[in-house]
Amino acid sequence: MNSDLIQRLLASPVSFLADSGPDEDIAISSRIRLARNVRDLPFPCAAGPQEMEQVCQLVRAAARSSGTLGCPDCLEFRIGELSATDREILLERRLASRELIGNLAGGCLLVKGDGSCSVMVNEEDQLRIQVLAPGFQLEKVWNKINALDNELGKELAYAFDEQLGYLTCCPTNVGTGMRASVMLHLPGLVMTGKINATIHGINKLNLAVRGIFGEGSENQGNLFQVSNQITLGDNEEHIIEELSKVIRQLINHEKAARIHLMEHDQASLLDHVGRSYGILRHSYKLSAKEALNCLSGLRTGVDLGLFNNVDIHRVNQMFLTIHPAHLQKSAGRNLSAAERDVFRASYCRQLLAKGS
């Protein structure tokens, strides 16, 4: 049953990567999540299976009327009933966190079929509400998640303190409980050697820079997730406004870096793009790390207008689908690390052969 739902998920495109969005040449996607808990029930870290089940029931009942989440037709996953590969699929699709899929006893996920909205239940907090959208559009994402939060809040008695705001398991989330982030593709700043100074500057503004899979993940494929750090003592709209200003600046810096490269070191830029395409199109063994770096090069080439037949949204999705669980689902069986490298190369060759 749960496995069928995974198949339904895999059959549909990842909307926040497959659809067009503002500034999509540099901004891959925008994401906001809200941490929420229900009054009088313990945080998951202190809860037993029955209490976690109780939270699940409450959230499911509340979600039933949510038009934003697409319930009652939304997909519902019980983490404990999923295979290890299926749990990784949720992680690779950015629908679940490492923490959620580790909670076999009580973790649960409600997700709209296209992956744009979801609620993780019994993650670090009882609810982690998430909305994702393509490109750079934090305001729109905010309006949507705010609506979803209101829908759920009508049914659930959120743990809320007049002075502090929303109460959360970890003090760093208390207040708005909000983390907003934009995934940026910054090959120009990497190639011009400006990325370290840029990250240093962002950190000084109390913003965080992370890799493709969030906290603790390494930067790969020149993808950087920039998010707010502060949740307390400020309102959501203002936090988003301040973050958006910085994102806008980063986008402009990246554009300038690309122009600089085209004007002053075109051969190196084209070489990076060409080799990336050549390896994706012709190799027979490809690690995930190399694939991500090559996809970054290919995406840069698409942005520069060098590949008319390669669709940028297909490249976006490949950033996720070249990961182990997705590959194993494509192959229809478990693959060793060595087999995955061979399958990944074949997968990339075939996808690009279609397009060019």
Angle between helices 337-355 and 266-282 (to 10 degrees): 110
Structure tokens at 107: 């973790």
Q: Which is nearer to its own copies, 72 or 278 (CB)?
A: 278
Q: Which is nearer to its own copies, 207 or 348 (CB)?
A: 348
Q: Which is nearer to its own copies, 50 or 336 (CB)?
A: 336
Q: Which is nearer to its own copies, 80 or 355 (CB)?
A: 355
Q: 160-189 mask for its own copies (x: CB under 8 A)?
A: ------------------------------
Q: Looking only at residues 87 through 126 of this chain, which bind its own copies when binding is defined by CB under 8 A?
A: none
How far apart are CB 331 and its own copies at their closest, in Å?
15
Q: Looking only at residues 5 through 34 of this chain, which bind its own copies when binding is defined by CB under 8 A?
A: none
* Alpha carbons 182 and 246: distance in angstroms, whole number: 11
How far apart are CB 221 and its own copies at their closest, in Å?
18
CA angle 26, 218, 189 (to 5 degrees): 35
How far apart are CB 329 and its own copies at their closest, in Å?
21
Contacts of 341 (CB under 8 A, 6+ apart): 285, 286, 287
User: What DSSP letter does each residue of 230-256 carry, written as one string?
Assistant: --SSS-HHHHHHHHHHHHHHHHHHHHH
CB of 16 within 8 A of CB of 134? yes
* Alpha carbons 206 and 33: distance in angstroms, whole number: 18
Q: Which helix (H) or strand (E) holds 134?
A: strand 127-134
Q: Which is nearer to its own copies, 59 or 261 (CB)?
A: 261
Structure tokens at 38: 């229900």
Q: Looking only at residues 235 through 294 of this chain, which bind its own copies when binding is defined by CB under 8 A?
A: 267-268, 270-271, 274-275, 277-279, 281-285
How far apart are CB 10 and its own copies at their closest, in Å?
26
How far apart are CB 262 and its own copies at their closest, in Å?
12
Q: Which is nearer to its own copies, 145 or 269 (CB)?
A: 269
Q: Which is nearer to its own copies, 109 or 279 (CB)?
A: 279
Q: Which is nearer to its own copies, 91 or 342 (CB)?
A: 342
CB of 139 within 8 A of CB of 21? no
Residue at 83: amino acid letter:
S
Angle between helices 138-155 and 236-264 (to 10 degrees): 150
Size of the site for its own copies (CB under 8 A): 17
335-344 contact pairs (CB < 8 A, 24+) = 340/288, 341/285, 341/286, 341/287, 342/284, 342/285, 344/286, 344/287, 344/288, 344/291
Phi, psi torsion values for 175, nearest 5 degrees = 115, -110
How far apart are CB 303 and its own copies at their closest, in Å?
17
Helix, strand, coil fractions of the chain, as percent rounded to 5: 50, 15, 30
Interacting residue with its own copies among 184, 345, 348, 351 (CB under 8 A): 345
Interacting residue with its own copies among 114, 158, 342, 355 (CB under 8 A): 342
How far apart are CB 348 and its own copies at their closest, in Å?
11
How far apart are CB 327 and its own copies at their closest, in Å?
15
Q: Which residues bind its own copies (CB under 8 A)?
A: 267-268, 270-271, 274-275, 277-279, 281-285, 341-342, 345
